Amino acid sequence: MKTFLKALSAATCGGAVAMALSVSTAHAEEWPTDDVRLVVPYAPGGTTDVLSRRVADLLQDEIDANVIVENRPGAGSTVATGRLARGGRDADHTILMASPGHTIGAAIYPNLAYDPVEDFVFIQNMIDIPNVMVVPADSPYNSVLEFVEAAKEQNMTFSHSGVGSSIHMSGELFKTLTQTNMTAVPFAGSGAALPALLGGDVDVSFENMPTVFSHIQSGDLKALAVTSAERSEYLPEVPTLKEIGEHNLDQFVTTAWFGLIAHESFPEEATETMQEALNKVMEREEFLSFVEQLGAEPGTVAGDEFKAFIADEVARWDKVAAEAGIRQE
């Protein structure tokens, strides 16, 4: 009888362990168990917002859960990012669409309450958009080298969409590398900056591709170079700053990137589920046609590679912010 009871006890314990493992495995496979929130750290209507809504629509089909977009603008994306960094009970179902503001903000505001690299999980870079060095149609400069030589002799103005934007920092990087005389002229967004550029009120801009592409096609603006590592398939005749090379421009490679991040406590199974789902999203025609409309390229880095990219960007923009004198201590 004792032998029977011992066997029964062992079987019961074994069954309990097996059931616990089964429940644990099922729980891991069940993520998400609630709606997923996709935070946009900017106001509605911009590229980050439009991209986020397109991704949310496609992503919820792949993870079989609602993906709710929430806009939380403020201080160049640092308000929403700081809130994400604090975590909280819903951290395992919250993601954020980060952009260059994530790394540039850390450079401009070095006393942030969070670490832009170590306090987050980097899930997937979604798209990269090159900036374009453009001048008005009647500008006397038809090449980057002509512009640089002139800017060494006289002061030039460049417009941008706000302090800390990728457009602003691209201009500052160009100024630093080429050692030219350039003054930044800020506007309240690209919509306000564009008329000044078209009208010749400023000499040059390093605008995002979607903002200026149609004006380049119409001849209202001249594209002197793109800022990406390779030529854009949408402007194949326009060289990259890197290939021009002279005046330290071989060091100039930057894009407006957009990618999904989460709090450092984001579950590993959630990251894996998200990455698998996003890979499917990025293969869908609806996503690819949207990317083409933006003049963008699908992102290529995820996980640790994405994190390493972010660390490099923080270091690069920190140096540029210090040399440009725009760091807010």
130-251: which CATH architecture?
3-Layer(aba) Sandwich (3.40)
- pLDDT grade, residue 14 (50/70/90)? low
Instruction: Answer yes or no: CATH 3.40.50.10860 is held by domain 35-128+256-324.
Output: no
According to the model, what pLDDT value does residue 32 have?
96
Token duo for residue 55? 């991704």
Can you give the residue ranges of every domain in the chain? 35-128+256-324, 130-251
Residue range 46-99, pLDDT digits in tens: 888 999 999 999 999 999 999 999 999 888 789 999 999 999 889 999 999 999
Percent of the chain with pLDDT over 70: 91
pTM: 0.83
Residue range 210-260, pLDDT digits in tens: 889 999 999 999 999 999 999 999 999 999 999 999 999 999 999 999 999
- How far are the Cα atoms of 67, 185, 278 from residue 127, in angstroms, in the given order? 19, 28, 12
Residue range 195-204, pLDDT digits in tens: 999 999 999 9
According to the model, what pLDDT value does residue 29 have?
57
35-128+256-324 and 130-251 in the same fold: yes
Percent of the chain with pLDDT over 90: 75
- pLDDT grade, residue 25 (50/70/90)? very low
